[in-house]
A and B are shown apart, each in its own frame.
Chain A
Amino acid sequence: MKDGTSATILVARNLRKYFPIRGGLLSSHLGDVRAVDGVSFDIREGETVGLVGESGCGKTTVGRLLLRLIEPTSGHSFYRPPPETEARLNTLYDTLRPFTGGGDGGTEPPLTDEARRALEEIDAIADQYSLYRRSQRKMRPLRGKLQIVFQDPFSSLSPRQLIRDILTEPLAIHHVGSRSERYRRAEELVKDVGLNPDHLWRFPHEFSGGQRQRIGVARALALAPEFIVLDEPTSALDVSVQAQVLNLLRVLQAERGLAYLFISHHLSVVRAMSNRVLVMYLGKVVEEARTDELFTRPLHPYTQALLSAIPIPDPELKRERILLKGDVPSPAAPPSGCRFHTRCPAVMPVCSKVDPPYLQVRPDHFVACHLYPEGIPPKGATIPAGDGQIASAGMAGAEAPLVASH
């Protein structure tokens, strides 16, 4: 949807977050855990972006970065840049791409003047629009607009606060209305998420998981946000309750034109919820596409493996699946080149050396994999060379479910 009409809320570019590892004799800086390593994407009004990946791939960190709950190591996310600025940014980052490929210093060529100029211009724009350049007090109004719903409904509500206080606190922070008005607002909120005003006078521990999650949503809604990060909102809930919360989120989005970043490791839920999906592996986005596109035609071997690994609730359906070898490597010492090459079923010699570029290989379909060396092909062309090698895997992974569901 790069040419989508809806305005962009956030433009995240080359986000990096390294957590230092300290240790040794004088607790010196040994290295970094590269939780997020060069992630770029946009959030548009009223759309849901899915973010999937295994645990430890940096999904949650991305979410917290977007809200500036933690400061990034580098990179920007621009809040509502005007269209022309956005376009400009895109071109600038395109010129920078060859230089900011790997993120791990080694592979990048030295900067050209042009690139340097691009950097300066980006810097200038960042001063104006980037979240991370704002002072805390200038950040505050945005806090209301960008909100978050947490995974664990039990630790996300203060055990010693009444629901009423939990819900009115954001309003109090932003000095919205008088006390009585806030209480009235709280009652509306509770009604909106399908609880009743009586619940305001309870403590969190008196609620079931699903209800707590509703309260969490209500708190996020308190300041009429335009964008909510949903950090695994249903993974702590039961299936039968999960659907309630998901539907609630859908309804709210429809009513208020919210934008969601839907973080989850549960691909089927992501498919049910989101318009676009990003697949993350070890702190990098390996594939991005429209939901149906991604789930019907996964290009990246990891995506294919992930899809094929999902158990399907249907005993008749017998698929042969791509089994990945071993575990996710530690983000503290990510493999050289393509980070997936240690587990990749279609690994090539080049993979262990060069970090694959992040290219648009089909309309609105971005992949970082050496199997797809060229960028977007002419219209109507077949999938670029290299796909053949894993066609079978691709079929096995992606097509089988379709067959089953026909």
Chain B
Amino acid sequence: MQMWVYIVRRALLLIPIIIGVMTITFILITALPTGIRCVSYFPIPRSGDIGPTGPCPGNPSQSNCPNPWWTHCVSVLGLNTPVPVQWATYMEHSLTFNWGTVNLNSYLSQHSQYSFMAGEPVTTALAQVLPYTLELATISLLLILVVSIPLGNLSAANRNRPIDQASRVMSFSGYALAPFLLGSLLLMAFVILIGASNGWHSLTCPASPTYLEFYKSWPAQQCFPGGNYPSWISNGVATTPTGFPTVDAAYHGQWVIAADTLIRLILPAFVIAYGSIAGLLRYVRNSMLEVMNLDFVRTARAKGVPESVVINRHAGRNSLNVTITVLGLTFATFISGFPVTEDVFGLTGVGRLLALSIDIPFDYGVIFGSVLLFTYLVVAANIIVDVLYAYLDPRVRLG
């Protein structure tokens, strides 16, 4: 089978998955009461009444006239049509990125960096915070690969020796430490040990509102060089090519800020990566051990290939396939670390938005939107992994 055929096949397999995911969300949404759906979909009217009926335009004393907001909502979402039609409407909406609007609950509105989002469409809100999440994701992915693969090979290469034991215990602890626990532990550690003692607390130091307007992140005045802001930020809107804070800072030549932002990402990236590292480490080790028992490794040794080459070239390349696959499989778990971590460290991002929107009253628009977004990230990651796999393994590439 040609490689492109393989890839296209994988891509085609994604279509039912995406449709299925949307269908699930549709089922859940339809379970919601109409009022809540409308609130999650349309900005709350000035009058503030969100019932089916409202005060009549004629005399405000009566309040049994049909609420135009309500009727509009019902007609747009097709709530009075049969379910299949509703489904079709929903699919159309979600495929055209019409995912409803943000209406802030008390919790969100407290955090100044989110206040501007009120009444915006969910997709724009998400688009604004997505770069932050992606930046974090990239760093923690790098962390995962850089740590787990060499360490796994190492512990496989000298099995049952101290380093192997150590890495095993580490991987176990990774399973047993929830991100919120690990995160707050680290936070506390750094605040108490570092932050309190010297001025070195840009890792964790608290926020300052104006600065947040640019970063929507968690550095504070005293962390910020000189406490004043780059000239290229005007009332919270930065003149930036990309949404990625580090990239932007670098683009504007603000290396200090860029470094500052990166430093802030170290701890959260570590927290997110830790669980995945734990999982991957174990898989790398086991697959490495399995590969090293295979005949062709023995052949290589019998040929007189030095041990280091045997491990890195012959065994390593083969176990890499397994590693990649596992990474794809565990990507969903990896993703689900974001809401908590971003919440703990107060970083801006899709996860934080989700975490904040889970507060009475729920902001269903944001909840569904961000979950869909995360799911699509997972799906995209999976197809990338498939392509990589095909690239790495001739048995797949050449069928």
Q: Do A and B have CB atoms closer than 8 angstroms in the complex?
A: yes
A residues near B (Cβ < 8 Å) are 23-27
Give the residues in chain B near A25, CB-CB below 8 Å. Answer: 5, 8-9, 12
Which A residue sits closest to B9, measured CB to CB?
A25
Q: A218 CB to closest chain B CB, in angstroms?
A: 35
Most chain B Cβ neighbours within 10 Å, of A23, A25, A27: A25
Complex CA–CA separation, A27 to B9 (angstroms): 9
Complex CA–CA separation, A66 to B9 (angstroms): 38
Tell yes or no: B33 within 8 A of A by CB.
Answer: no
8 tightest A-B CB contacts, nearest first = A25-B5, A23-B1, A25-B8, A25-B9, A24-B5, A23-B399, A24-B1, A27-B9
Mostly, the A contact residues are loop
Q: B77 CB to closest chain A CB, in angstroms?
A: 35
Give the residues in chain A near B8, CB-CB below 8 Å. Answer: 25
Give the residues in chain B near A23, CB-CB below 8 Å. Answer: 1, 399
Complex CA–CA separation, A219 to B399 (angstroms): 40
Mostly, the B contact residues are helix
Complex CA–CA separation, A49 to B8 (angstroms): 50
Which B residue sits closest to A23, measured CB to CB?
B1
Q: B338 CB to closest chain A CB, in angstroms?
A: 35
Which B residue sits closest to A27, measured CB to CB?
B9
For B1-39 the 0/1 string (1 means CB < 8 A from A) is: 100010011001000000000000000000000000000
Which A residue sits closest to B8, measured CB to CB?
A25
Complex CA–CA separation, A23 to B5 (angstroms): 10
Q: List 10 A-B contacts (CB under 8 A).
A: A23-B1, A23-B399, A24-B1, A24-B5, A25-B5, A25-B8, A25-B9, A25-B12, A26-B9, A27-B9
Complex CA–CA separation, A26 to B9 (angstroms): 7
Q: B161 CB to closest chain A CB, in angstroms?
A: 31
Q: A28 CB to closest chain B CB, in angstroms?
A: 11
Give the residues in chain B near A24, CB-CB below 8 Å. Answer: 1, 5
Q: A359 CB to closest chain B CB, in angstroms?
A: 40
Give the residues in chain A near B9, CB-CB below 8 Å. Answer: 25-27
Complex CA–CA separation, A26 to B399 (angstroms): 15
Which B residue sits closest to A30, measured CB to CB?
B1
Complex CA–CA separation, A23 to B399 (angstroms): 9
Complex CA–CA separation, A24 to B8 (angstroms): 10
Q: B375 CB to closest chain A CB, in angstroms?
A: 25
Which A residue sits closest to B1, measured CB to CB?
A23
Q: A31 CB to closest chain B CB, in angstroms?
A: 14
Q: A17 CB to closest chain B CB, in angstroms?
A: 24
Q: A23 CB to closest chain B CB, in angstroms?
A: 6
Give the residues in chain A near B5, CB-CB below 8 Å. Answer: 24-25
Give the residues in chain A near B12, CB-CB below 8 Å. Answer: 25-26
Give the residues in chain A near B399, CB-CB below 8 Å. Answer: 23
Give the residues in chain B near A27, CB-CB below 8 Å. Answer: 9
Q: A88 CB to closest chain B CB, in angstroms?
A: 48
Task: Given contact pairs A23-B1, A24-B1, A25-B8, enumerate 8 new A-B contacts (beta carbons under 8 Å).
Answer: A23-B399, A24-B5, A25-B5, A25-B9, A25-B12, A26-B9, A26-B12, A27-B9
Q: A179 CB to closest chain B CB, in angstroms?
A: 43
Complex CA–CA separation, A24 to B6 (angstroms): 8
Give the residues in chain A near B1, CB-CB below 8 Å. Answer: 23-24
Q: B395 CB to closest chain A CB, in angstroms?
A: 14
Which B residue sits closest to A25, measured CB to CB?
B5
Complex CA–CA separation, A170 to B276 (angstroms): 49
Q: B16 CB to closest chain A CB, in angstroms?
A: 13
Complex CA–CA separation, A133 to B399 (angstroms): 38
Complex CA–CA separation, A90 to B5 (angstroms): 49
Q: B339 CB to closest chain A CB, in angstroms?
A: 38
Complex CA–CA separation, A343 to B12 (angstroms): 43
Q: B72 CB to closest chain A CB, in angstroms?
A: 43
Complex CA–CA separation, A143 to B1 (angstroms): 41
For B355-399 the 0/1 string (1 means CB < 8 A from A) is: 000000000000000000000000000000000000000000001
Which B residue sits closest to A24, measured CB to CB?
B5
Complex CA–CA separation, A23 to B8 (angstroms): 13
Q: B6 CB to closest chain A CB, in angstroms?
A: 10
Complex CA–CA separation, A262 to B292 (angstroms): 39
